[in-house]
Amino acid sequence: MKRLEGKVAIVTGAGAGIGEASAVAMAAEGATVVLADVLSERVEVLAPKLEAAGARVLAVGFDVTEEEGWLSLVDDVRTRFGRIDVLFNNAGGGAGPGRDGAVTDLLLDEFWRTIRVDLYGTLLGCRTVLPVMAEQGTGSIINVSSLRAVIGTTGGDAYTASKGGVLALSRALAVQWAKHGVRINTLAPGVVLTERVKAFIPPEDPLYRKMLLGPCEARDVADLVVFLASDESRRMTGTVQRLDGGASVS
């Protein structure tokens, strides 16, 4: 039996990078996967590939910052599949160079954009899905923070603030919802070599030298997502999983 057989998983930001890799990995382990992305064309391309491999898939154009969208999505998933076992709150991402930075220099509109997507979007996902999981008596929510929320770094203060909020929120929810059988764990990746990251962190950046085991690939994160989604992690909640190649200890 596959590790996620019979489970229904929602993945936000499923059209590329960590979200895509995680959706592919969960589908391969038997999950029904809801591919949600603000760029609907991405998931509409991915869905047939997963279906051709035998997976049950739903592709949805979706903005994580819209409460009505969340309510509609959750209602649709329950109607189609009867349950929601996993929520991977992956959608988000910091600004490109020149918009985020030190708190004295960053663009304030970029601060609010980042908070809205990364923190508010995560909050809405949890707010909408938690009652469904509580009714079932089981569920796993996986939120994405960042290594920046765990250790001191320079620059990127809007992103750091948003991801710090995700980390604190996840811990609070883990305490509150454990009695309902819902687990909430957090990923805190360092550099993950997605196409987006490769575009603005050049290979010569000294950041890479801090990673004792080298930077992560999206599939490395996907492996951990599958574990946290599965019953193998049934006694884990409130944890912060660092995927940083050893950067935080070097």
- Rounded to 10 degrees, the C-alpha dihedral 238/228/124/17 comes to 130
Divide the 250 residues of the chain into consecutive groups of 10 and give the mean pLDDT of each group: 96 97 98 97 97 97 97 98 98 73 90 95 98 98 94 88 97 98 96 83 78 92 98 98 90
Q: Which amino acid is at 11?
A: V
Q: Which residues of 150-161 are buried (b: 16+ CB within 10 A; e: fewer)?
A: beeeeebbbbbb
CA–CA distance, 241 with 155 (Å, rounded to integer):
23
Cβ within 8 Å of residue 21, ≥6 positions away = 217, 218, 219, 221, 222
Contact 21, 222 (CB under 8 A): yes
Task: Please tell me what DSSP assigns to residue 216.
Answer: B
- Which tokens in the block code for residue 40? 């609907």
Sheet containing 57-61: give its strands across. 57-61, 32-37, 8-12, 86-89, 139-144, 182-189, 240-243
Q: Around Cβ 98, how many Cβ atoms within 10 Å?
A: 11
Distant-in-sequence, close-in-space partners of 55: CB < 8 Å, separation ≥ 6:
27, 28, 31, 32, 33
pLDDT score recorded for residue 214: 87
Q: How far apart are CA 159 and CA 156, in angstroms?
A: 5
Partnered with residue 10 across adjacent β-strands are 34, 87
pLDDT of residue 95: 58
Q: Are residues 132 and 19 in contact, defined by beta-carbon separation less than 8 angstroms?
A: no
pLDDT of residue 164: 97
pLDDT at 94: 64
- pLDDT, residue 49, reads 97
Domain spanning 8-249 has what CATH number?
Answer: 3.40.50.720
Phi, psi of 5 (to 5 degrees): -55, 130
Please give the positions annotated as active site: 159
Yes or no: say if 199 and 212 are a contact pair by the CB < 8 Å rule.
no
Domain spans of the chain, in order of start: 8-249
In the beta sheet, which residues pair with residue 128? Answer: none
130 φ, ψ to 5°?
-55, -45
Whole-prediction pTM value?
Answer: 0.96
Q: Which residues are 192's β-sheet partners?
A: 216
